[in-house]
Chain A
Amino acid sequence: IAGITQAPTSQILAAGRRMTLRCTQDMRHNAMYWYRQDLGLGLRLIHYSNTAGTTGKGEVPDGYSVSRANTDDFPLTLASAVPSQTSVYFCASSDSPGVAEQFFGPGTRLTVL
């Protein structure tokens, strides 16, 4: 089934630990995105990639890094997790950035203690 997968579904993490959230799409979309969603704040863009090999910073990039080695995968890494990074993280992809719809993955619920 075509779409976006994310792993893990949920995770509890000790502060200071390193964590990588995985995202894979099989739609061959050019653009991919990472958002975090917090109550009352809506979806906030962390990082994006308009095409394989390029990445850019979104609204809230501090404490996060991404890479885009190929079209399908867009992992998000928290180098040293802090409690304020407790959130639901969504990965999304789009065939044409800013023009075509974004398809969302099922999300990862991350708790940093």
Chain B
Amino acid sequence: QKEVEQNSGPLSVPEGAIASLNCTYSDRGSQSFFWYRQYSGKSPELIMFIYSNGDKEDGRFTAQLNKASQYVSLLIRDSQPSDSATYLCAVGVAGNQFYFGTGTSLTVIP
């Protein structure tokens, strides 16, 4: 079983809709959770991070963490064509490295 699992997609949503991206992880000792966005041919860039259970909002992005269910999600409201990218979930344990999911490809249709 992989440390971090994501639905590879592709996920397609119409412009203006909410895109929901999901991630599960296996290590209950995981302490930090990150969402990266990666455009084709580019390097990953951080969108959101969350450490505590619940929701964290930043503009159009909301990260949700449920440690009991070992589940973290990213919601993108009012999706724009510029949001079309691959989204990587990363999970970290203090003093250790990150574990990355394989990514979910999102396409926002104008």
Contacts and interface: CB of A to CB of B under 8 A. Distances in A.
Interface string A30-53: 000101000011110100101000
A33 B43 contact: no
B49 A101 contact: yes
A58 interface: yes
B65 interface: no
A45 B96 CA distance: 12
Interface size class of B (residues with CB under 8 A): 20 to 34
Chain A contact surface mostly: loop
A90 B34 contact: no
A106 interface: yes
Contacts of B101: 42
Interface of A: 33, 35, 40-43, 45, 48, 50, 58, 90, 96-107
Interface of B: 8, 31-32, 34, 42-46, 49, 88, 90, 92-98, 100-103
13 contacts: A42-B102, A45-B97, A48-B97, A97-B96, A98-B97, A98-B98, A99-B31, A99-B92, A101-B46, A101-B49, A104-B43, A107-B42, A107-B43
